[in-house]
Structure 1
């Protein structure tokens, strides 16, 4: 599939420089960037630090307070 992508001059120059330094074509870098971006879109949007959080040792788990909650009511404005 073919696409035309228009970049401003500064971005195009930076892309050219990075492609030269990496020894890759501009198209290869653009394909890689788009593929990586699409892969990130399919994943949860939470940062890895949040996803890896295991809680704090001196804090009770959130679920421990569930028994103290009031029962739900039919009328949400009651």
Structure 2
């Protein structure tokens, strides 16, 4: 039975080479975190860097400098586009 809004865990089996497994075991010893916690953290970090790209929150929240008029106010003064965008 699924409970609406409850977090459902996903289970995976992964196979790693000996060198990666040894490095993971060393990271577990050094960090005090569980192997699963380190793997979850690594997946989350990878997805942040390789997942769907979006602008950083600072850019999305930017409202401009109130001392300057919005760019859109002068848009009609721009020359029309050319056939060659590099011309």
Compute the TM-score of the two structures, normalised by the length of structure 2: 0.55
Q: How does 1:39-50 map to 2 (within 5 A)?
A: 40=48, 41-44=51-54, 46-50=55-59
Deviation of 1:15 after TM superposition, in Å, equals 4.4
Decide whether the 8 Å contact of 1:15 with 1:26 is kept in 2.
Answer: yes
C-alpha distance in structure 2 between counterparts of 1:7 and 1:55, whole Å:
49
2:13 equivalent to 1:4: no
Alignment pair present for 1:64 and 2:73 = yes
The answer for the alignment partner of 1:51 in structure 2 is 60
Displacement over 6 Å in runs of 4+? none
2-side partners of 1:53 and 1:8: how far apart?
Answer: 45
Please list every run of 5 or more consecutive structure 2 residues that lacks an aligned counterpart in the other structure: 1-12
Alpha-carbon RMSD: 2.8
Q: 1:32 to 1:66 in 2, by over 3 A?
A: same
TM-score (normalizing by structure 1): 0.60
CA distance in 1: counterparts of 2:80 and 2:40, whole angstroms: 53
Higher-helix-fraction structure? 1
Which has the bigger relative contact order, CA under 8 A and spacing at least 6? Answer: 1
Unaligned runs of 5+ in 1: none
**Displacement of 1:36 after TM fit?**
4.2
